[in-house]
Amino acid sequence: SVIPAETDVAIIGAGPAGLFAAFQCAMLRLRCVLIDVLPEVGGQCAALYPEKPIYDIPACPAVEGAELIANLERQIAPFDIPRLLRHRVEGLSGQRGDFSLTTDKGAHLHAKAVIIAAGAGAFGPNRPPLDGLGAYEESGAVQYYVRRKADFQNKRIVIAGGGDSALDWALSLKDTAAKLYLVHRRDRFRGAPESLRQLDEAVAAGQIEKVVPYQLHGLQGANGALTGVDVIDMDGATRTLEADVLLPFFGLATDLGPVARWGMDTQRSTIPVTPSSCETSLAGIFAIGDVATYPGKLKLILQGFSEAAMAAHAIHPIIYPEQALHFEYSTSKGVPAA
Ligand code: FAD
């Protein structure tokens, strides 16, 4: 729908937290606009792991990243919420009740309140320092996200890393790959107990070969076609693993980007908020999801959902100062027909 020049709530970031904030705002009759620099909504779920199952969304025993986003889209569809995609919010100024936002493409928007749901900000993968890496990244021989499992059918794969992503993808790709190596600099992996159990099982069955304690050392091949990955142990002994693909999972490099310049308190790549309202140190500006922090914060989607509800309720008096907000369940309010 058409992007208005002014709205009640500008939501910066259309990841799961931003999308659900749009629903919560709409249910409280707060007009909002969703803004995201990416060409599609969904944040990390859509961009980084559309096919990875998520197991800890309440009432969804298993849901893939893309499916979760499609469901959030269905939930807000009845409200026809305007969205400004491919726009990075660069400037944010003003005060409670009267904010002004500008984007890198020159769009301007006035809003009475702002919800920052910027997640990891301008997120990107931590890249291993290997000679000639660029050519292999370009050809797709080195990838940091698994967008389509089918691309790895019968490939010899080296997965590097010791955290959840490395573990989850090793387990998920073990039946797709022709050969799967899991390289880590220690013999201990960080992951859910069940994943660790499955790893032991897959190693015992010969589906995954653990290469520990080793680190990535070099890439072999030419013109972007990978033939092997060199690894090195703590004593300097090297080994070459024959491989077509390298998937390094060394975490996300987070960078708040323009958000860091908007004047609210920040703490490394996060924004401290009052937990009961999600308000930042600047009145009228709220932060939810991965970007928000407070004691005990869990960077989980379910936490972002709850924060979205708290922020929307805290914003209501800014938009409707005369009107007391009587708490209601969604059933009594109902949603418009889609
Ligand atoms: P994000 O999803 O990061 O979305 C933020 C959005 O803001 C992005 O789309 C970004 O483009 C946009 N943005 C940022 N700055 C600007 C700006 N200035 N202007 C415009 N747009 C901007 N969580 C779970 O609960 N369960 C899991 O099983 C799980 N598995 C995961 C697996 C992987 C591999 C990864 C990487 C994460 C996983 N997570 C999981 C974490 C989960 O994805 C995050 O907690 C969640 O995406 C955070 O949502 P968000 O909306 O706060 O931010």
pLDDT tens, 285-325? 999 999 999 999 999 999 999 999 999 999 999 999 998 88
Ligand 1, atom nearest to 19 Cα: 51
What CATH number should be reported for the domain holding residue 235?
3.50.50.60
Last residue of a domain, one of 188, 217, 250: 250
Q: Is 147 in the pocket of ligand 1 (CB under 6 A)?
A: no
pLDDT tens, 216-238? 999 999 999 999 999 999 999 99
Instruction: Answer yes or no: do 18 and 37 share one domain.
Output: yes
Last residue of a domain, one of 250, 277, 312: 250
Which pLDDT belongs to residue 324? 87
For the chain, how many structural domains are there in total? 2
Last residue of a domain, one of 250, 267, 298: 250
Q: Domain span at residue 163? A: 127-250
Distance CA 202, CA 205 (A): 5
Ligand 1, atom nearest to 49 Cα: 34
Question: Is 1 inside any structural domain?
Answer: no
Q: Is the ipTM of this complex over 0.90?
A: yes
Q: Which residue shows structure tokens 């910066």?
A: 12
Q: What angle do CA 64, 27, 271 make, to 5 degrees?
A: 65
Supply the pTM of this predicted model.
0.77
How far away, in angstroms, is 119 Cα from ligand 1 center? 5
pLDDT tens, 133-165? 999 998 999 998 887 889 999 999 999 999 988
Asked whether residue 330 carries a pLDDT value surpassing 90, the answer given is: no
Which pLDDT belongs to residue 252? 75
Which pLDDT belongs to residue 145? 82
Asked whether residue 122 carries a pLDDT value surpassing 70, the answer given is: no
How far away, in angstroms, is 105 Cα from ligand 1 center? 23
